[in-house]
A = this chain, B = another copy of it.
Amino acid sequence: MLYHNCTVITMNSENDIFKNGAFVVEDGQFIDVGKSERIIKSYSGDEKKNLNSKIVIPGLINTHTHVPMVLFRGLADDLPLKEWLENYIWPMENKMIDKDFIKWGSQLAMMEMISTGTTAFADMYFYEEEVARLVKSIGMRASLGEGIIQFETPDANKPEQNIERFKMLTQRWHNDNNIKISMCAHSPYTCNKDLLLKTKLLADKYDSMYHIHLAETKNEKSMIKENESEVSPVMYLNDIGILDENVLAAHAVWTDKEDIDILKENKVSVVHNASSNLKLGSGIAPISKYLDAGINVSVGTDGAASNNTLNMFNEMRLISLLHKGVNLEPTILPSEQVLKMATINGAKSLGWDDKIGSIEENKHADFVVINKDSVNMKPMYNPVSHLIYAANGSEVEKVYVGGELLYENKEFKTINKSEVLENVKKISKKIVGNL
């Protein structure tokens, strides 16, 4: 299939933007991309799609979330973290989480992500085998892992059982195009040293990403200190040998210069979850320092219980504005860099940049067609500026993953929206009943 008459923002290493661009998709992959004239000339197929001057970007990659938590969206806001967790989130998780919750919550979340241009995400929660099954049937991509903590999880699993699940999932989804399985040790304060080491060894054995919450709140250091170590969370993980290029550190809000050096030296990727960190009063991660140090930084929404959306356009705009203001420096995090963070950097942080994150030959054909007719996109001088500063996600018109159309004109092609919303309503009534 030839797609032509569009502005293609490739996010390749040269940051090529083809203003009168085109690309060819075959067997779910991009096989050519460039200037319209050349592509059309060399294309020998029959199928052509005119994209009517629209903008095309690689699918956005949300590298840290807990998708089923979307069912708690707006249930409790504006509360101290401890009260929010102990009075609302944890009791509700214990009462509510079952396969049904995961099934409908994940689908609601995937509808929100797809409709706002996200094609791949990294999830850490429970019953991830159910999430994986849904991701595959809906046709998104995801890096998924069962959250592992020291104690029993809401699905009544002990750490050993969740480690078994990791093995089972890894074997089940080995070499799949849509699913990667990650090791999700929850954090250095909810896993003891032995569990951290055991999970990391296993992750390495299966060549899996190690996804962990790290240095999210100011008091994480003191929480670890009680049991294990006197040093910072980053230094602690480094001391015990966890950190390397397969580690994806979510949040990394509270780090000092030494921590940043450690993250850099060990090639750890950082996921920035700006909305969630602000909303929970956790703080503001020193993202410009990470970028200066050359650390790979990607973008996550966190769960919609603390965001309260899964819309990467919200996140991109917020990130670009926030760090300029905090640093009193309008030149940092320019729009191109933030779009990189939400695409190719995301792919890198999931160990998936060989196949996703940019519009390039031999990569999966995951792309988003963006309408520039809405009034907030006018006038149009610089499409990347508008994507970051002016768009809100409602401009997403079509979403393709592996060349398959998942969304067009507000309609989902692979999800039964009304069935999902009906079940979401039922579950939310149960949640209210349990308050």
Interface residues of A, Cβ cutoff 8 Å to B: 71, 73-75, 77-81, 84, 108, 111-112, 115, 218, 275, 277-284, 304, 307-311, 313-314, 317-318, 320-322, 324-335, 375-376, 378-382, 385-386, 389-390, 392-394, 417, 421, 424-425, 427-428, 431-432
Contacts and interface: CB of A to CB of B under 8 A. Distances in A.
Contact of A390 (B308, B326, B417, B431): B308
Contact of A325 (B78, B278, B378): B278
B425 A325 contact: no
A53 to B, nearest CB: 12
A298 B172 CA distance: 55
A16 to B, nearest CB: 20
A74 B390 contact: yes
A311 B394 contact: no
Contact of A73 (B278, B307, B320, B379): B379
Nearest to A308: B389
Contacts of A73: 378-379, 381, 386, 390
Which of A320, A390, A427 counts the most chain B CB atoms within 10 A? A390
23 contacts: A73-B379, A74-B379, A77-B389, A78-B330, A78-B334, A81-B330, A108-B375, A275-B321, A278-B321, A278-B324, A279-B321, A280-B324, A281-B324, A282-B328, A283-B328, A311-B376, A322-B322, A326-B326, A378-B424, A378-B425, A379-B427, A380-B428, A392-B394
A309 B376 contact: yes
A108 B380 CA distance: 13
Given A278-B324, A325-B284, A330-B280, A379 B115 contact: no
Contact of A308 (B115, B334, B386): B386
Given A218-B328, A279-B320, A310-B376, 12 more contacts: A71-B379, A74-B380, A74-B381, A74-B389, A77-B385, A277-B325, A279-B389, A284-B325, A308-B389, A322-B322, A378-B424, A381-B431
B390 A309 contact: yes
A421 to B, nearest CB: 6
A379 B325 contact: no
Contacts of A314: 317, 392
A112 B322 contact: no
A36 to B, nearest CB: 21
A99 to B, nearest CB: 18
A394 B389 CA distance: 16
Contact of A379 (B326, B389, B424): B424
Q: Sort A-B residue pairs by CB-CB distance and give the 8 closest, nearest first.
A: A278-B325, A379-B428, A281-B330, A394-B394, A78-B334, A74-B385, A278-B321, A308-B389
A102 to B, nearest CB: 15
A322 B424 CA distance: 30
Given A308-B389, A311-B392, A74 B376 contact: no
Contacts of A307: 389
A80 B330 contact: yes
Given A308-B389, A309-B389, A390-B73, A328 B281 contact: yes
